[in-house]
Amino acid sequence: MLGRESPPPPAFTLKKGTRVPPPLPGPPEGSGNLLHAQDTAVGVCDLAGALRKAAATAKALDPSTYCESPVYSPDLCPNMIAAQAKLVYQLNKYYTERCQARKAAIAKTIREVCKVVSDVLKEVEVQEPRFISSLSEIDARYEGLEVISPTEFEVVLYLNQMGVFNFVDDGSLPGCAVLKLSDGRKRSMSLWVEFITASGYLSARKIRSRFQTLVAQAVDKCSYRDVVKMIADTSEVKLRIRERYVVQITPAFKCTGIWPRSAAQWPMPHIPWPGPNRVAEVKAEGFNLLSKECYSLTGKQSSAESDAWVLQFGEAENRLLMGGCRNKCLSVLKTLRDRHLELPGQPLNNYHMKTLLLYECEKHPRETDWDEACLGDRLNGILLQLISCLQCRRCPHYFLPNLDLFQGKPHSALESAAKQTWRLAREILTNPKSLDKL
């Protein structure tokens, strides 16, 4: 059981203020013009507007662009409706041909990877029964497995909790929290007694270190030892499989029935999405505490760094993205990233795309904004927001806005990604048929 430190501050205080993003802070000197998060900066308005106007003008001269039965809108002339329809058509075609192929290939890889990981974890469990594999296939989907990229995966190994710990989340460790014994006299009641520090904290790093030793031994004994090896020079547990795939196995605790204070500003009171019922579902879903390196603490040689657990909201985020064309939009974004934004320095990953999609849901709270016909508009909005974040060199976590997802990324890599994303957005905006080649 995980509880809060007593007495806790108000857990669900909704603070007034502007949701981030938008707006985002200005860039450092010399970084060039900004593309503002709300698309209100002159750069975005003028350039994106000019591109739309140019495309509309060209199409207005071509009678074949008019829809046979256009949907009436007082704000759009027929040629603009046709342009939107063409973009949606091309995106649906892209989804069918590119995104579905990506999904099928990844599903095949996951089955191959999970056979190896399951075999390793069985050996771990023989050595140490406290680390029981929670990797299971349900409805053709592996619970606890996250796809980082087509060749990178993370498996979350949920641990059993015995002993009462307080969940301490005071904001001093961005993106992290600590677990502290509620009563020092109950130390012997904990399943993880040898990993509790003198101060009463359950050390994430100590548990991870023990798990790493067990996995290294299991790799040497498992039936797949010829195709799997441990990756050295990291405190995290990472396996390289068949020299093609990397799998990180992360010990974790699942936390339900509580919500982090550092995420208490969500949902913002002036934003109607996602609505009270969905908010209640998401908060009931809870979050995970992961034993992994926290980049916001990198370089801080302190006991807090080794004790800290990383907050993760994967299931809550997936629940928010249910309905409309949200998941289709995310699939298109992931495919575009894998094919065109896999750049030196690894500035972008699929979690950045997921985060910006969640912000786009706030900016367009009505369900009608997520009809299939709006897919092109939503995609363009997210790509422009991504450019803004890259140029600002800041991408706030959706639930934890004090946590910057670009922290530690090389500035040159972020700048290159901004330029490449703009080329991609401009191509899609001005010539939807370019998706055939993207």
Please write the tens of the pLDDT for every residue from 167-182. Answer: 888 877 889 999 988 8
**What percentage of the chain has pLDDT greater than the value 90?**
58
Please write the tens of the pLDDT for every residue from 97-108. Answer: 999 999 999 999
- Average pLDDT value for the chain: 81
Q: Tell me the HSE value of 235 on the side-chain side, using a 13 A CA sphere.
A: 14
* Contact criterion met (CB below 8 Å) for 370 and 362: no
Prediction pTM value? 0.81
* Contact criterion met (CB below 8 Å) for 81 and 68: no
The beta strands (E) that lie in 48-175 are given as 136-138, 141-143, 145-149, 152-158, 165-168
Query: Which domains are assigned to the chain?
Result: 102-321 (3.30.460.90), 323-437 (1.10.1410.40)
Please write the tens of the pLDDT for every residue from 336-367. Answer: 999 999 999 999 999 999 999 999 999 999 99
Report helix, strand or coil for 287.
Answer: strand
Please write the tens of the pLDDT for every residue from 101-129. Answer: 999 999 999 999 999 999 999 999 988 88
pLDDT confidence of residue 56:
47
